[in-house]
Structure 1
Amino acid sequence: LAPEIEALAEVYGRMVFARAEDVALQQMPAAALAAWLAWYETTPDTPCIAICSTSQGDEWCKGCGRSFAEVQHWLAMSPMDKRAVWRRITREGVALRFTRYAERAAERPADCAGGAPGAG
Protein backbone atom coordinates (compact mmCIF):
# COMPACT_ATOMS: atom_id res chain seq x y z
CA LEU A 1 0.00 0.00 0.00
CA ALA A 2 0.99 3.61 -0.48
CA PRO A 3 2.22 5.10 2.81
CA GLU A 4 -0.77 7.45 3.01
CA ILE A 5 -3.26 4.62 2.53
CA GLU A 6 -1.45 2.43 5.03
CA ALA A 7 -1.52 5.21 7.64
CA LEU A 8 -5.25 5.80 7.14
CA ALA A 9 -6.05 2.07 6.96
CA GLU A 10 -4.77 1.59 10.49
CA VAL A 11 -6.93 4.43 11.80
CA TYR A 12 -10.03 3.30 9.90
CA GLY A 13 -9.45 -0.30 10.99
CA ARG A 14 -9.43 0.76 14.62
CA MET A 15 -12.56 2.84 14.05
CA VAL A 16 -14.37 -0.13 12.51
CA PHE A 17 -13.27 -2.40 15.35
CA ALA A 18 -14.48 0.12 17.94
CA ARG A 19 -17.60 0.93 15.87
CA ALA A 20 -16.62 4.59 16.09
CA GLU A 21 -17.85 7.23 13.64
CA ASP A 22 -14.90 9.54 14.18
CA VAL A 23 -11.55 9.80 15.87
CA ALA A 24 -10.20 12.57 18.04
CA LEU A 25 -7.55 14.70 16.38
CA GLN A 26 -5.13 13.92 19.22
CA GLN A 27 -5.46 10.18 18.52
CA MET A 28 -4.50 10.40 14.84
CA PRO A 29 -0.90 9.48 14.08
CA ALA A 30 0.96 12.27 12.25
CA ALA A 31 1.15 10.32 8.98
CA ALA A 32 -2.58 9.57 9.03
CA LEU A 33 -3.45 13.18 9.81
CA ALA A 34 -1.22 14.41 6.97
CA ALA A 35 -2.84 11.94 4.56
CA TRP A 36 -6.34 12.93 5.71
CA LEU A 37 -5.56 16.64 5.35
CA ALA A 38 -4.16 16.03 1.83
CA TRP A 39 -7.42 14.28 0.91
CA TYR A 40 -9.47 17.00 2.60
CA GLU A 41 -7.82 19.66 0.42
CA THR A 42 -9.38 17.97 -2.63
CA THR A 43 -12.95 18.35 -1.31
CA PRO A 44 -15.18 21.43 -1.67
CA ASP A 45 -14.51 23.78 1.23
CA THR A 46 -18.02 25.02 1.76
CA PRO A 47 -21.46 23.47 1.32
CA CYS A 48 -22.77 26.87 0.17
CA ILE A 49 -24.89 26.95 -2.99
CA ALA A 50 -25.42 30.73 -2.84
CA ILE A 51 -28.95 30.43 -1.48
CA CYS A 52 -28.29 31.62 2.06
CA SER A 53 -31.38 32.00 4.18
CA THR A 54 -29.33 32.80 7.31
CA SER A 55 -28.67 36.20 5.75
CA GLN A 56 -32.47 36.65 5.87
CA GLY A 57 -32.64 35.79 9.59
CA ASP A 58 -33.13 32.01 9.53
CA GLU A 59 -31.35 30.05 12.26
CA TRP A 60 -30.67 27.20 9.78
CA CYS A 61 -29.78 27.82 6.13
CA LYS A 62 -32.32 26.33 3.76
CA GLY A 63 -29.69 26.26 1.01
CA CYS A 64 -26.86 24.32 2.63
CA GLY A 65 -28.24 23.13 5.97
CA ARG A 66 -25.69 24.83 8.22
CA SER A 67 -26.62 26.78 11.32
CA PHE A 68 -26.24 30.55 11.44
CA ALA A 69 -23.16 30.12 13.67
CA GLU A 70 -21.62 27.56 11.29
CA VAL A 71 -22.07 29.91 8.34
CA GLN A 72 -20.66 32.88 10.25
CA HIS A 73 -17.64 31.02 11.67
CA TRP A 74 -16.91 28.70 8.73
CA LEU A 75 -13.62 30.30 7.77
CA ALA A 76 -12.29 29.95 11.33
CA MET A 77 -13.38 26.32 11.74
CA SER A 78 -10.84 23.49 11.65
CA PRO A 79 -10.95 20.94 8.82
CA MET A 80 -12.19 18.33 11.32
CA ASP A 81 -15.05 20.59 12.46
CA LYS A 82 -15.96 21.42 8.86
CA ARG A 83 -15.99 17.72 7.97
CA ALA A 84 -18.30 17.02 10.92
CA VAL A 85 -20.73 19.65 9.61
CA TRP A 86 -20.52 18.18 6.10
CA ARG A 87 -21.28 14.72 7.50
CA ARG A 88 -24.28 16.01 9.47
CA ILE A 89 -25.86 17.98 6.64
CA THR A 90 -25.28 15.10 4.20
CA ARG A 91 -26.83 12.62 6.62
CA GLU A 92 -29.83 14.92 7.17
CA GLY A 93 -30.15 15.58 3.43
CA VAL A 94 -32.96 18.12 3.79
CA ALA A 95 -31.27 21.32 2.57
CA LEU A 96 -31.85 22.52 -0.98
CA ARG A 97 -28.25 21.45 -1.71
CA PHE A 98 -29.45 17.85 -1.47
CA THR A 99 -32.92 18.24 -2.97
CA ARG A 100 -34.06 20.73 -5.63
CA TYR A 101 -30.64 22.24 -6.24
CA ALA A 102 -28.44 19.14 -6.10
CA GLU A 103 -27.24 19.73 -9.67
CA ARG A 104 -26.46 23.37 -8.90
CA ALA A 105 -24.49 22.33 -5.81
CA ALA A 106 -22.41 19.91 -7.86
CA GLU A 107 -21.49 22.73 -10.26
CA ARG A 108 -20.65 25.35 -7.59
CA PRO A 109 -17.02 26.43 -7.52
CA ALA A 110 -15.17 25.33 -4.40
CA ASP A 111 -14.35 28.94 -3.48
CA CYS A 112 -17.99 30.05 -3.05
CA ALA A 113 -18.25 32.05 0.16
CA GLY A 114 -22.02 32.36 0.03
CA GLY A 115 -24.46 34.28 2.11
CA ALA A 116 -23.70 37.46 3.94
CA PRO A 117 -20.31 39.17 3.85
CA GLY A 118 -17.92 37.28 6.08
CA ALA A 119 -19.90 34.07 5.71
CA GLY A 120 -18.15 30.96 4.54
Structure 2
Amino acid sequence: MAVIHLTDLEAAINFWRARRPSPDGVAIAPELAALAEVYALLALRRAAQVDEAALSAAARAAWLAWYDTTPDTPCIAICSTAQGDDVCKGCGRTFDEVQHWPSLTPAEKRHVWWRITSDGVAWRFNRYAERAAGQAGPWRE
Protein backbone atom coordinates (compact mmCIF):
# COMPACT_ATOMS: atom_id res chain seq x y z
CA MET A 1 0.00 0.00 0.00
CA ALA A 2 1.42 3.36 -1.05
CA VAL A 3 0.62 6.10 1.45
CA ILE A 4 0.85 9.86 1.41
CA HIS A 5 2.01 11.48 4.64
CA LEU A 6 0.26 14.44 6.21
CA THR A 7 3.33 16.64 5.70
CA ASP A 8 3.15 16.07 1.94
CA LEU A 9 -0.53 17.01 1.93
CA GLU A 10 0.32 20.18 3.83
CA ALA A 11 3.11 21.00 1.37
CA ALA A 12 0.76 20.42 -1.57
CA ILE A 13 -1.92 22.61 0.02
CA ASN A 14 0.61 25.40 0.62
CA PHE A 15 1.85 25.03 -2.97
CA TRP A 16 -1.68 25.55 -4.31
CA ARG A 17 -2.41 28.38 -1.84
CA ALA A 18 0.60 30.25 -3.22
CA ARG A 19 -0.13 29.35 -6.82
CA ARG A 20 -3.86 30.07 -6.80
CA PRO A 21 -4.64 32.42 -3.90
CA SER A 22 -8.20 33.18 -2.97
CA PRO A 23 -9.50 36.23 -4.84
CA ASP A 24 -11.79 37.22 -1.98
CA GLY A 25 -10.37 35.47 1.08
CA VAL A 26 -13.24 32.98 1.10
CA ALA A 27 -13.31 31.03 -2.16
CA ILE A 28 -10.63 28.42 -2.77
CA ALA A 29 -9.26 26.86 -5.92
CA PRO A 30 -10.62 23.43 -6.91
CA GLU A 31 -7.20 21.86 -6.25
CA LEU A 32 -7.25 23.23 -2.71
CA ALA A 33 -10.78 22.02 -2.13
CA ALA A 34 -9.84 18.50 -3.23
CA LEU A 35 -6.75 18.39 -1.01
CA ALA A 36 -8.55 20.04 1.92
CA GLU A 37 -11.15 17.27 1.89
CA VAL A 38 -8.42 14.65 2.27
CA TYR A 39 -6.72 16.73 4.97
CA ALA A 40 -9.99 17.12 6.88
CA LEU A 41 -10.62 13.38 6.83
CA LEU A 42 -7.12 12.76 8.18
CA ALA A 43 -7.74 15.25 10.97
CA LEU A 44 -11.10 13.68 11.76
CA ARG A 45 -9.53 10.22 11.94
CA ARG A 46 -6.43 11.55 13.74
CA ALA A 47 -4.33 9.84 11.10
CA ALA A 48 -0.95 10.88 9.75
CA GLN A 49 -1.21 9.28 6.33
CA VAL A 50 -3.69 8.31 3.67
CA ASP A 51 -3.68 5.46 1.19
CA GLU A 52 -2.86 6.83 -2.26
CA ALA A 53 -5.73 4.79 -3.72
CA ALA A 54 -8.21 6.60 -1.45
CA LEU A 55 -7.60 9.97 -3.14
CA SER A 56 -10.24 11.31 -5.49
CA ALA A 57 -9.13 11.98 -9.06
CA ALA A 58 -9.05 15.73 -8.34
CA ALA A 59 -7.01 15.33 -5.14
CA ARG A 60 -4.60 12.94 -6.86
CA ALA A 61 -4.12 15.36 -9.77
CA ALA A 62 -3.49 18.28 -7.39
CA TRP A 63 -1.06 16.22 -5.31
CA LEU A 64 0.80 15.00 -8.42
CA ALA A 65 1.10 18.58 -9.72
CA TRP A 66 2.83 19.50 -6.44
CA TYR A 67 4.91 16.30 -6.53
CA ASP A 68 6.25 17.26 -9.97
CA THR A 69 7.87 20.32 -8.34
CA THR A 70 9.85 18.24 -5.84
CA PRO A 71 13.26 16.64 -6.47
CA ASP A 72 12.88 13.10 -7.77
CA THR A 73 15.76 11.47 -5.97
CA PRO A 74 17.57 12.13 -2.69
CA CYS A 75 20.84 10.96 -4.27
CA ILE A 76 23.89 13.20 -3.71
CA ALA A 77 26.20 11.09 -5.90
CA ILE A 78 27.84 9.32 -2.96
CA CYS A 79 26.39 5.83 -3.01
CA SER A 80 27.72 3.52 -0.35
CA THR A 81 25.31 0.73 -1.35
CA ALA A 82 27.65 0.18 -4.32
CA GLN A 83 30.27 -0.79 -1.70
CA GLY A 84 27.94 -3.21 0.06
CA ASP A 85 26.15 -1.06 2.65
CA ASP A 86 22.52 -2.01 3.29
CA VAL A 87 21.68 1.68 3.71
CA CYS A 88 23.36 4.40 1.69
CA LYS A 89 25.38 6.78 3.84
CA GLY A 90 24.90 9.53 1.25
CA CYS A 91 21.13 9.61 0.81
CA GLY A 92 19.73 7.27 3.47
CA ARG A 93 17.90 4.91 1.12
CA THR A 94 18.12 1.16 1.45
CA PHE A 95 19.84 -0.92 -1.21
CA ASP A 96 16.43 -2.07 -2.51
CA GLU A 97 15.13 1.51 -2.65
CA VAL A 98 18.16 2.62 -4.65
CA GLN A 99 17.87 -0.33 -7.03
CA HIS A 100 14.11 -0.04 -7.57
CA TRP A 101 13.78 3.76 -7.43
CA PRO A 102 12.76 4.18 -11.10
CA SER A 103 9.84 1.78 -10.65
CA LEU A 104 8.50 3.28 -7.39
CA THR A 105 5.27 5.28 -7.55
CA PRO A 106 5.28 8.96 -6.58
CA ALA A 107 3.70 8.09 -3.21
CA GLU A 108 6.30 5.39 -2.56
CA LYS A 109 9.10 7.83 -3.40
CA ARG A 110 7.64 10.48 -1.12
CA HIS A 111 7.33 7.90 1.68
CA VAL A 112 11.07 7.21 1.34
CA TRP A 113 11.76 10.97 1.33
CA TRP A 114 9.66 11.35 4.49
CA ARG A 115 11.54 8.54 6.25
CA ILE A 116 15.05 9.73 5.38
CA THR A 117 14.15 13.32 6.24
CA SER A 118 12.71 12.25 9.59
CA ASP A 119 15.82 10.20 10.31
CA GLY A 120 18.09 13.07 9.22
CA VAL A 121 21.26 10.99 9.57
CA ALA A 122 22.28 10.60 5.92
CA TRP A 123 25.22 12.68 4.75
CA ARG A 124 22.85 14.74 2.58
CA PHE A 125 21.60 16.29 5.83
CA ASN A 126 24.96 17.03 7.44
CA ARG A 127 28.38 16.25 5.96
CA TYR A 128 27.40 16.98 2.34
CA ALA A 129 24.41 19.23 2.90
CA GLU A 130 25.78 21.71 0.35
CA ARG A 131 25.22 19.10 -2.39
CA ALA A 132 21.55 18.96 -1.49
CA ALA A 133 21.21 22.73 -0.94
CA GLY A 134 20.04 23.33 -4.50
CA GLN A 135 17.19 20.87 -4.09
CA ALA A 136 13.85 21.77 -2.57
CA GLY A 137 12.42 19.28 -0.15
CA PRO A 138 9.84 18.72 2.55
CA TRP A 139 12.28 19.86 5.24
CA ARG A 140 12.69 23.31 3.63
CA GLU A 141 9.95 25.83 3.18
Partner of 1:97: 124
User: Which residue does the alignment assign to 1:69?
Assistant: 96
For 2:116 and 2:46, the matched residues in 1 are separated by 21
Q: Choose which of 84, 98, 105 in structure 2 pairs with 1:57.
A: 84
Looking at structure 2, the residues matched to 25 and 84 of structure 1 have their Cα atoms a distance apart, in angstroms, of 11
Post-superposition shift, 1:107?
2.4
Q: TM-score normalized by structure 2?
A: 0.74
Segment drifting more, 19-28 vs 85-94:
19-28
The TM-score with structure 1 as length reference comes to: 0.86
Q: Measure the CA separation in 2 of the matches of 1:105 and 1:8.
A: 28
Q: State, as a whole percentage, how many aligned pairs show the same letter.
A: 65
Structure 2 unaligned blocks of 5 or more: 1-27, 136-141
- Letter of the 1:3 counterpart: P
- How many residues of Structure 1 are paired with residues of Structure 2 in the alignment? 108
2:37 to 3, 6, 10: 10
Distance 2:134 2:34 in 1: 32
Q: 4+ runs of 1 displaced by more than 6 Å?
A: none
